[in-house]
Structure 1
């Protein structure tokens, strides 16, 4: 089978642009830095060979509906492992231990992609349920987290392509770092944890070494 090595940048005919334009409102009386900042100008272009961030001044990204797909919840780890083996041909599943129980998850997806994966799994006779992982977009920090997670899901979705062997992450990590550090003097615990998660990504992520990163992201979003 022919494999394509996927890089987080455009082909040589296109120039990778990573631009985050921050719109800041100033309160009428005090010049207060507004908390309702939004990221504007991010447009995601996704095709077989590339995912890139380009500038579109007419686009405002306000959030993404994110779901996990649960394929079982067990009191015994061996039963969870058996379930994991059953679905591993169709997705990148993992197990989360919570309060002595074992949750089997088929992955984390943007809702549209997740609904397609649900249909696929059900067509294989696999029971699956949605677990909402949505993060509010009430603060500047929340908006940053949503943007970064959305970018990471573009990478993991590419890994489900049978012709994609791996994805290089350096450009994504640089892009995410720019968002995290934009206008920040101190980071909250959650944003700092996300920063560590992104920085600890392998230089090249594949179907095998992506699981720990996906699990870390799930735990961060559920916290």
Structure 2
């Protein structure tokens, strides 16, 4: 009787454990199935109704995000210009035309600076969308490009300070040249594009000519 009773209790325990295992298996399997159905095996995306962009969430450690802040996307240029005038006291906005549409961009930033700017816009009730232009750091050329972009953004964004009216570019050009030509070897097409861009910068950047330069940089980064 003791042996039979012991086996009976043991059998109940086994059934209980099997039930738990079965429920857990169904839950996990069901969760994975629903995940595949909902997201279709793709990365999660963040969409903005007025951005014209779809921004992928990126978890790769060898990717650096250059943040573009967009405040509007219009079919008419006059509407874009109106928005530029209304937000110019908070940033240095510029317009980029693409496929007959006009993007109002509030600036290009390194990611940390961009997040701070987003908070400033939110505090002033300005609609803004963050767009990440991802650049891989998996080769020497891209690392050089990222370093130069960071340097130029640091220089250009100084114009946002009320006390700064213009910035001379000679020192920046010299610094960039050393990075681009550090080993004396033939440069890739990408580096040649960046070098040409740097050489064509005006001797002095101010608030009247910075839009053209930042528009060109945006297109270079995007490409």
- TM-score calculated relative to the size of structure 1: 0.69
| Residue equivalent to 2:204 | 204
Is contact 1:136-1:142 (8 Å) kept?
yes
Is contact 2:69-2:114 (8 Å) kept?
yes
Structure 2: tracts of 5 or more residues without a match: 1-61
Runs of 4+ in 1 over 4 A off after TM superposition: none
Aligned equivalents of 2:184, 2:212: Cα separation in 1: 28
Task: Return the offset for 1:73.
Answer: 0.8
Aligned residues: 162
Question: In the TM superposition, what whole-angstrom CA distance separates every residue of 1:124-149 from its partner, at most 9, and x where no partner exists?
Answer: 22100111122111111000000100
Coordinate RMSD, CA, aligned: 1.5
The structure with the larger Rg is: 2
Aligned equivalents of 1:137, 1:64: Cα separation in 2: 7
Task: Return the offset for 1:199.
Answer: 0.8
Question: In the TM superposition, what whole-angstrom CA distance separates every residue of 1:159-210 from its partner, at most 9, and x where no partner exists?
Answer: 1111112111101101101111122533333221111111111111112211
Is contact 1:63-1:143 (8 Å) kept?
no
- Is 1:137 the counterpart of 2:130 in the alignment? no
Structure with the higher fraction of residues in strand conformation = 1
Is contact 1:63-1:146 (8 Å) kept?
no
1:45-194 matches, within 5 Å, as 64-194=64-194
Aligned equivalents of 1:184, 1:118: Cα separation in 2: 41
Structure with the higher fraction of residues in helix conformation = 2
Aligned equivalents of 1:151, 1:96: Cα separation in 2: 22
Structure 1: tracts of 5 or more residues without a match: 1-61
Is contact 2:64-2:137 (8 Å) kept?
no
Is contact 2:159-2:207 (8 Å) kept?
yes
SS, match of residue 185 in structure 1: coil
Is contact 2:64-2:136 (8 Å) kept?
no
